[in-house]
Amino acid sequence: MTNDDTRQHDDAAAAELKGVPEEMIETPADDTEISALKEQLETARQDVLYAKAETQNVRRRMEKEMADARAYAATGFARDILSVADNLARALESIPADLRDDDKLKNVIAGIEATGREIDKVFAGHGISRIAAMGLPLDPHQHQAMLEVPSADVEPGTVVQELQSGYMIKDRLLRPAMVAVAKKGD
């Protein structure tokens, strides 16, 4: 900058400050004050960035919790209704083959079977699915071994009998399948 430029700049700055009380006009501070102010400014910027990041993390966590709450809200009710489905299945299994052909019971049996299909349809609509167990290796994340059965026909650790069906709700375990597992035959 030339001297003329500096004078014009000073004149323009003075014109901007015309009418501003003298005590409000700051005088240039020394280097240590400027350095301290710059540090405070940088600290404030960092604090703002940390606060923004924390707010974003809280928002994401809340969104995930809300999505989980929506997806798994029916878990308690679903566990309770599983016993109804189990009892319905046991009722069907307990009907002897000769009574299934009886004209007096055909409508009752058809009604029980239709109710079972309707429960399966409702379960599927809410993301509840039955866990496969028979003939599969024991999976401790989905199966609960209740007893071991000696067997020479299948590999040890294979599920040979399902005592109670297991269920998943979406990707979470609702109830493990209670199973009998093969062990090495004697």
Distance CA 181, CA 157 (A): 6
Cα separation, 126 vs 74, in Å, equals 8
In the chain, % helix, strand, coil (3-state, to 5) comes to 60, 20, 25
* 104-125 residue pLDDT tens: 888 888 999 999 999 999 999 9
Single-letter residue type at 31: D
- Which pair of tokens denotes residue 10? 């000073």
pLDDT band at 14 (very low <50, low <70, confident <90, very high): low
The pTM (predicted TM-score) of the whole model is 0.64
On average, the pLDDT of the chain sits at: 85
Q: Give the number of residues written for the chain.
A: 186
Residue with tokens 């109710």: 115
Domain 128-186, what architecture? Answer: Roll (2.30)
> Residue 56 belongs to what H/E stretch?
helix 31-72
Calpha distance 16→79 (Å, rounded): 76
Q: How far apart are CA 135 and CA 185, in angstroms?
A: 17
The confidence score (pLDDT) of residue 8 equals 58
CA 131/CA 134 separation, integer angstroms? 10
CA distance 76 to 79: 5
Higher pLDDT, 30 or 119: 119
pLDDT at 15 over 60: no
Model confidence over 149-166: pLDDT tens digits?
Answer: 998 888 899 999 999 999
Question: Strand 143-151 and strand 128-130: pairing?
Answer: unpaired
Question: What pLDDT sits at residue 20?
Answer: 53
Cβ within 8 Å of residue 146, ≥6 positions away? 163, 178, 179, 180
CB 124 within 8 A of CB 157: no
**pLDDT of 103:** 85
The model's pLDDT over 123-133, given as tens digits with 9 standing for 90+, comes to: 999 899 999 99
pLDDT for res 102: 85
Position 186 scores a pLDDT of 66
Q: Domain residue spans in the chain?
A: 31-73, 75-126, 128-186
What's the pLDDT band for 7 if we cut at 50, 70, 90? low
Query: Average pLDDT in the 1-9 region?
Result: 57
